[in-house]
Amino acid sequence: MKKIALILSVLTISLVSNSCSDKFDEIDTNPNSTDKPLTYGLFNSANKELMDNTRDEWQSGRIVLPWVQYSAQRAYTEEDRYQYRLSTGVSLWSFSYRVAQDYKQIIDLNTDPATSTQMSVYGPNKNQIAAARVMLSYVFLNLADSFGDIPYYSYGNKDADFQALSIGGTAQPIIQPKFASQQKVYADIMKELKEASSMIDANEVVFTKGDVLFGSGEKLKRFANSLRLRVATRVKGVVPGAEAHITDAIASGVMQSNNDNVGVTYENNLINPSPLYDNFRTRSDFAISKTFVNLLKGNVGNFNQDPRLFKFATPKGTNKALILDGSAPESTNPADFNGMPYGVPSSLAPSQAASSNFFSKNILKPDYTEILMEYSEVQFLLSEANGWSQTNYVNGVRASMEKWGVSAATINSFVSALPAASKANVLTQKYISLFMQPYEAWAEYRRTGYPNTLLLPGQTGTLNVASGGNTTYTFTSLIAGLTDLPKRLFYPTSVQTLNTVNYQAASNAIGGDKMDTKLIWDTN
């Protein structure tokens, strides 16, 4: 069933010649596969592959995590300065369509009369279909947010422009799909999430066994509505109907507490550990950035020293082995946290690495939970929807701190001193709460311009000097014309080569396949 996704991601099509095209099905059939898999196993596998690849050392650690300045690289800083490896974008594209095909297979198995009865043993058919629709929306949202116009699939909309994962009139895969416009994609994602939420039986399970993501139809329903609130907030004023979706998503029931947080929790072993922990076992490339540390220390912005600093980062000089075995000490002394200067030339990076801070043992652990969406974000979205509500703003900060294990007394002290809710204050706190969810933080920065504490091209940062004190450097983008964070990723080189006509049409439609081409909601 992954054949179509593989063709769509154009990883293999160039290897298939006309002379053997009539035997393609035979060649591409896995003799060990089944056409009636366990749907909960397929669902979990897709979820893990999604997080493995969006939160790993490549798509996250060397692209978006540093771009939003949660991290900075300790050696090779070219990607921090926006010169990312194009193969990484190819990978993001190809695995996204691969997992999308898995979610579509769950839908197909639960809608086909020949298999739906058997699939009902694994959970109510409608709840399984809804879960797959929600996760497809999540995948396509990330693709659209990263690239712009994309090949798109919809369960409930047969628009002729929606050709991803589809079959043509001759029952052959559409190997050169059209790119749907951002307007259509975002509008349909909101529709899909609304319809998925409506079809969920909140009193039933999603899967009868093996459900490690939701556990109940009610939690799935709240996730669907919360994700719709995220999307609708992103495109309000740009995509017609978004404002109505905001109102309806809230009324339909969004996340109510941290118990509703949705994430993939990895295993506490070395077989299926979290992706960044697995990378940290053999490499030491990533540190928390000085930009972020300065914000958490209260050196910039409008806030007091943030106790989450001590939960996010390891004190400088901590032995790596102590982080790996979970015994690294915590410190509440701000002097123990410098951060790694962001965007320095690679030649200067080694001189700063020794005084930088690794992520904490709360993150670099095998059973870390990679979050898809959480309650604190919902509260910040509600604050915005309610005219920058103070109550929702405080709730969001409190929820984030509770999730990271900050003591109740410390939380109370911090929130009592919060500056009043405003666009800048709410969105900056939202940025802090999105730590380790870099794709969403990147989208929010492009949409809003916050936080306004990031180091931008042409600006001056500070370096530690061995003899004491500081010196300065200028952050220089390696991509000509980029004077801010990148606006999007380049379309994959494989797509440019193997789906040329549709690639060129998409490039023209969005205003050019460039990193400074704004998406339709990037209006700040």
* Per-residue pLDDT tens over the stretch 92-107: 999 999 999 999 999 9
- Are 516 and 486 spatial neighbours (Cβ–Cβ below 8 Å)? yes
Predicted confidence at residue 507, as pLDDT, reads: 98
Q: How distant is the alpha carbon of residue 475 from its chain centre?
A: 25
Among 459, 474, 489, give the residue marking a domain's end.
Answer: 474
Pair (60, 165) in one structural domain:
yes
Residue 11 has pLDDT above 90, yes or no: no
- Could you tell me if residue 419 is inside a domain? yes
- Could you tell me if residue 277 is inside a domain? no
- Could you tell me if residue 502 is inside a domain? no
Predicted confidence at residue 524, as pLDDT, reads: 84
Q: What is the pTM of this model?
A: 0.93
Predicted confidence at residue 467, as pLDDT, reads: 65
Rounded Cα–Cα distance for residues 179 and 97 (Å)? 13
Predicted confidence at residue 15, as pLDDT, reads: 33
Among 269, 303, 335, give the residue marking a domain's end.
Answer: 269
Task: Calculate mean pLDDT across residues 154-169.
Answer: 88
Predicted confidence at residue 464, as pLDDT, reads: 84
Pair (245, 342) in one structural domain:
no
Pair (189, 307) in one structural domain:
no
Pair (201, 320) in one structural domain:
no
> Percent of the chain scored above 90 by pLDDT?
89
Pair (59, 155) in one structural domain:
yes
Predicted confidence at residue 468, as pLDDT, reads: 73
- Could you tell me if residue 437 is inside a domain? yes
Pair (251, 295) in one structural domain:
no
Pair (329, 182) in one structural domain:
no
Predicted confidence at residue 35, as pLDDT, reads: 67
Pair (218, 309) in one structural domain:
no
97: containing domain: 3-13+28-67+84-269
- Could you tell me if residue 140 is inside a domain? yes
Pair (238, 294) in one structural domain:
no
Pair (242, 298) in one structural domain:
no
- Could you tell me if residue 312 is inside a domain? yes
CATH code of 421's domain: 1.25.40.390
Domain count, the chain: 2
Pair (353, 217) in one structural domain:
no
- Could you tell me if residue 305 is inside a domain? yes
Residue 37 has pLDDT above 80, yes or no: yes
pLDDT tens string 195-252: 999 999 999 999 999 999 999 999 999 999 999 999 999 999 999 999 999 999 999 9
- Could you tell me if residue 520 is inside a domain? no
Predicted confidence at residue 465, as pLDDT, reads: 79
Using the structure block, give the residue that is written with the tokens 């982080």. 323
Pair (309, 433) in one structural domain:
yes
Predicted confidence at residue 515, as pLDDT, reads: 98
Mean pLDDT of the chain: 93
